Structure 1
Amino acid sequence: MKDLLGDDRTAMVKASKLLCDDKSTTPTLLRFLDAETRVDNRHAILYALTWHSHLAQWDLMVGILKDVREAPLVRGQAAEYLAYNFPKVRTDSVEFKVAVDALLEALKDPSPEMRYCAVHALGNTGHPPLLPALREMLQDTTPAPGWVGTVSSQASESMEWLESMHEQRRKQGP
C-alpha cells in the first residue's frame, strides 16, 4: 500500500496491479484517493479500484471523469472503470444516463487521450443510440499518447464492441 503513495512509478504500478485482486482494500484506497493530489498516484489508486468493480464508486468515477481539473490520465482511468462496469448497469437507469452524458462531453475534450478513453467506454455500453457519436469520432485521426492507435481507430473498434455488447444485453434484458 505504501508504494501507491511513493514516488517510484515502477513500484506504484506493481502495487496497483497487486491490489486489483484484493477488494478488501477498497475503503483504504478511497481514503488514499481523497487525500492524494499527484497524478501518477491518483491514477494508480484508480487503476486498482477499477478492478474491484464496486458499483458504489460509480458516482465517484463519473465525478472524476467530469472534472476538467483532473489530468487526462486520471480522467481516462475513471472512463475505463465505467467501461468495465457498464454491463452491470441498466441502460434505462439514471446512472447510465449521467455516465453517458459525461462521456459524450469528453468526446469534445482537447486531450486526445481523453477522447480515446471516452470512445472506448462508450463502446462498452452496448447501447445502439450511441453509434452516431462513435461514427463522428471516425474523423478524429489524432494519435492518443500512451495508447495504441488513434481516436479514430478506437472509435471503429468501439463500434464493433458496442454491437457485440448490445447482443449480450438483448439476450440478458436491459
Structure 2
Amino acid sequence: MKDIVGSDLGAIVEASKLLSSDCSTTATLLKLLEAERRVEARQGLLYALCWHGDLGTWDLMIHILADLQEAPKVRGQAAEGLSYMFMSVRTDSREFEAAVHALRDALKDPSPEVRYCAVHALGSTGHPPLIPVLQEMREDRTPVPGWVGTVSDEASRAIEMLEGLHRMRLKNGC
C-alpha cells in the first residue's frame, strides 16, 4: 500500500497492478486518493480502482473526468474506469446519461490523451446512438504519445467495439 503513494514511479506502477486484483482494498484506495495530490500516485490509485469494477466509484470517476484541475493522465484514467463499468449500467439510467455527458464534454478537451480515453469509453457503452459522435472523432488525427495511434484510430476501434457490445447487450436482453 505504501508503494502506491510513494515517490518511485516504478513502484507505483507495480503496486497499482497488484492492488487492481484485490477488491478488498477499494475503501483504502479511495481514502488514499482523497488525500493524494501527486499525478502519478493519483493515476496509480485510479488504475487499481478501475479494475475493481465497483459501481460505487462511478460518480467519482465522472467527477474526476470533468475536473479540469486534474491532470490529463488522471482524467484519462477516470474515463478508462468508466469504460470497464458500462456493461453493468443500464443505458436508460441517470448514471449512464451522466457519464456519457461527461465523456462527450471530454471529446473537446485540449489534451489528446483525454479525448482518446473518452472515445474509448464511449465505444465501451454498446449504445448505437453514440456512433455519430464517434464518427466525428475520426477527424481528430492527433497522435497520442504513449497510446496506440491517433484519436481518429481509437474512434474507429471504438465504433467496432460499440457495435459488438451492442450485439452482446441484445443477446443478453439488456
Counterpart in the other structure of 1:153: 153
Q: CA deviation at 1:145?
A: 1.6
Counterpart in the other structure of 1:102: 102
Counterpart in the other structure of 2:25: 25
Q: Distance in 2 between matches of 1:95 and 1:154?
A: 24
Which AA in structure 1 matches 2:79?
Answer: A
Give per-residue Cα distances to partners, 1:20-79, cap 9 Å, x unaligned: 111111111000000000000000000000011100110010100110110110000100
Q: CA deviation at 1:5?
A: 1.0
Q: Kindly report which structure 2 residues correspond to 1:12-51, keeping only aligned pairs within 5 A, or say none.
A: 12-51=12-51
Counterpart in the other structure of 1:64: 64
Q: CA deviation at 1:173?
A: 2.3
Q: CA deviation at 1:135?
A: 0.2
Q: Distance in 2 between matches of 1:98 and 1:17?
A: 28
Runs of 4+ in 1 over 6 A off after TM superposition: none
How many pairs were matched up?
174
Gaps of 5+ in 2: none
Counterpart in the other structure of 2:122: 122
Which AA in structure 2 matches 1:15?
Answer: A
Q: Distance in 2 between matches of 1:28 and 1:82?
A: 20
Q: CA deviation at 1:146?
A: 1.5
CA RMSD after TM alignment: 0.6
Q: CA deviation at 1:90?
A: 0.2
Counterpart in the other structure of 2:80: 80
Counterpart in the other structure of 1:91: 91
Gaps of 5+ in 1: none
Which AA in structure 2 matches 1:81?
Answer: G
